[in-house]
């Protein structure tokens, strides 16, 4: 569990709940732990985070994935300062109106930090509720029904404790495989348990895999141990993150004409690395062919690009796919 869990009788600060919940979206507690500690140490308040340049936030986020969350985190910190004087609002509508805060995060912050009557429904809660009531509809279509059923279980007071207890029940007792039903406080009411088919819930619609996209990545190494980097556009996948120059990524990418998209350097000799660097995004898998070229110390960076010291690459806001590309090229 993350350190935002308050001690008995204490209320968890909304900033801590919000930060951890944004980080935990699509990411495990184990991965989030060190990032959460780093963010709280660097930016102990929402004001400090709001005052920091976006680039610093993206750098600190690098490696955690789903970078839109980092941009929204920063935008939300600014909005809390500008709209609410640096204090998270104790009102569900105002919470939902903040950048990057959807139903789930609003319910988590609202219930855990302010005891508002809301139930945050994450994957753990979905599992408990669908088993308890034997919900036959498949996810994600079943989400509104699960929310309604979860809300029907909510007590009138201590909604924050209830929300955390429900999430903990799903994480530790009502586990995906072999749930410990004998320890569950609802075992006499659970429909799936009575039928003995708990593990078949929640029902899930079959997954549709995205089509493979291909592209090229160009690693230009300067003789003084620098590598050419540029920033991705603000909007879209990996927005505002750092990358090596590359081609577009498409289903019908033609590796034969990949060098048309390479940065132009006089006399640069491109070497194609064997194999491809692969990465799986939420909606599609990607395979990149990596080309490497060495250029002299005097080479100038093309417009929109810059040279970065190889020794300091770990401090750059490079997404995992680009770290894989650089690892392959610098090996």
Stretch that binds ligand SF4, among 50-58, 128-136, 246-254, 315-323 (CB under 6 A): 128-136
Question: Judged by CB, which is closer to ligand SF4: 179, or 246?
Answer: 179
Compute how many residues bind ligand SF4; rule: CB under 6 A. 14
CB 180 → ligand SF4: shortest distance, Å? Answer: 6
CB 128 → ligand SF4: shortest distance, Å? Answer: 5
Say whether residue 162 binds ligand SF4 (CB under 6 A): no
Is 21 marked active-site?
yes
Q: Cα 171 vs. chain centroid, distance in angstroms?
A: 19
Say whether residue 125 binds ligand SF4 (CB under 6 A): no
Question: Judged by CB, which is closer to ligand SF4: 187, or 231?
Answer: 187
Say whether residue 135 binds ligand SF4 (CB under 6 A): no
Contact by Cβ (8 Å): 70, 100: no
199: left (phi over 0), alpha (psi -120 to 50) or beta: alpha
Rg of the chain over Cα atoms, rounded to whole angstroms, equals 24
CB 75 → ligand SF4: shortest distance, Å? Answer: 38
Distance CA 27, CA 229 (A): 27
Say whether residue 179 binds ligand SF4 (CB under 6 A): yes
Say whether residue 131 binds ligand SF4 (CB under 6 A): yes
Candidates 22, 70, 128, 268: give the one binding ligand SF4 (CB under 6 A). 128
54-55-58-59 Cα dihedral, nearest 10 degrees: -150
Distance CA 234, CA 126 (A): 34
Contact by Cβ (8 Å): 306, 230: yes
Question: Judged by CB, which is closer to ligand SF4: 70, or 192?
Answer: 192
**Which residues between 183 and 212 bind ligand SF4 (CB under 6 A)?**
184, 186-187, 190, 192-193, 198
Question: Judged by CB, which is closer to ligand SF4: 163, or 318?
Answer: 163
CB 190 → ligand SF4: shortest distance, Å? Answer: 3
Catalytic member of 10, 21, 47, 199: 21
Distance CA 329, CA 331 (A): 6
Beta strands 242-243 and 277-280 are unpaired
Name the residue among 213, 212, 230, 250 with its Cα closest to residue 322. Answer: 230
Say whether residue 181 binds ligand SF4 (CB under 6 A): yes
Name the residue among 123, 47, 121 with its Cα closest to residue 84. Answer: 47
**Which residues between 269 and 308 bind ligand SF4 (CB under 6 A)?**
none
**SS percent in the chain: helix, strand, coil, step 5:** 45, 15, 45
Beta strands 213-222 and 285-295 are parallel
Question: Judged by CB, which is closer to ligand SF4: 83, or 195?
Answer: 195
Contact by Cβ (8 Å): 148, 122: no
Candidates 73, 150, 173, 286: give the one binding ligand SF4 (CB under 6 A). 173
Question: Judged by CB, which is closer to ligand SF4: 131, or 213?
Answer: 131
Say whether residue 20 binds ligand SF4 (CB under 6 A): no
Query: Strand (E) positions, the chain?
Result: 213-222, 226-231, 242-243, 271-272, 277-280, 285-295, 305-309
Known catalytic residues are 21
Q: List contacts with ligand SF4 (CB under 6 A).
A: 128, 131-132, 173-174, 179, 181, 184, 186-187, 190, 192-193, 198
């Amino acid at each position: 569990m993350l350190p935002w869990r308050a001690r008995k009788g204490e209320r968890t600060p909304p900033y801590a709940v919000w930060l951890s919940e944004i980080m935990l979206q699509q990411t495990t507690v184990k991965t989030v732990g060190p990032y959460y500690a780093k963010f709280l140490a660097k930016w102990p308040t929402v004001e400090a985070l709001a005052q920091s340049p976006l680039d610093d936030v993206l750098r600190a986020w690098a490696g955690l994935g789903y970078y839109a969350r980092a941009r929204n985190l920063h935008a939300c910190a600014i909005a809390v300062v500008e709209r609410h004087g640096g204090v998270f609002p104790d009102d569900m509508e105002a919470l939902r109106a903040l950048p990057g805060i959807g139903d789930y995060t609003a319910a988590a912050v609202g219930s855990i930090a302010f005891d508002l009557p809301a139930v945050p429904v994450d994957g753990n809660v979905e599992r408990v509720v669908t088993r308890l009531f034997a919900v036959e509809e498949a996810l994600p279509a079943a989400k509104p029904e699960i929310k309604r059923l979860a809300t029907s279980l909510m007590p009138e007071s201590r909604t924050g404790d209830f929300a955390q207890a429900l999430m903990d029940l799903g994480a530790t007792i009502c586990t995906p495989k072999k749930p410990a039903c004998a320890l569950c406080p609802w075992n006499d009411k659970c429909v799936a348990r009575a039928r003995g088919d708990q593990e078949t819930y929640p029902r899930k619609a079959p997954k549709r895999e995205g089509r493979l996209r291909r592209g090229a990545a160009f690693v230009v190494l300067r003789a003084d141990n620098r590598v050419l980097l540029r920033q991705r556009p603000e909007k879209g996948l990996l927005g505002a993150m750092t990358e090596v120059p590359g081609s577009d990524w498409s289903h019908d990418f033609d590796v034969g004409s990949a060098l048309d998209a390479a940065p132009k350097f006089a006399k640069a000799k491109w070497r194609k690395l064997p194999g491809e660097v692969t990465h799986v995004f939420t909606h599609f898998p990607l395979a990149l062919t990596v080309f490497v070229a060495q250029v002299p110390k005097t080479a100038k960076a093309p417009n929109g690009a810059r040279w970065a010291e190889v020794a300091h690459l770990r401090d750059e806001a490079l997404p995992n796919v680009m770290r894989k590309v650089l690892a392959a090229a610098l090996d």
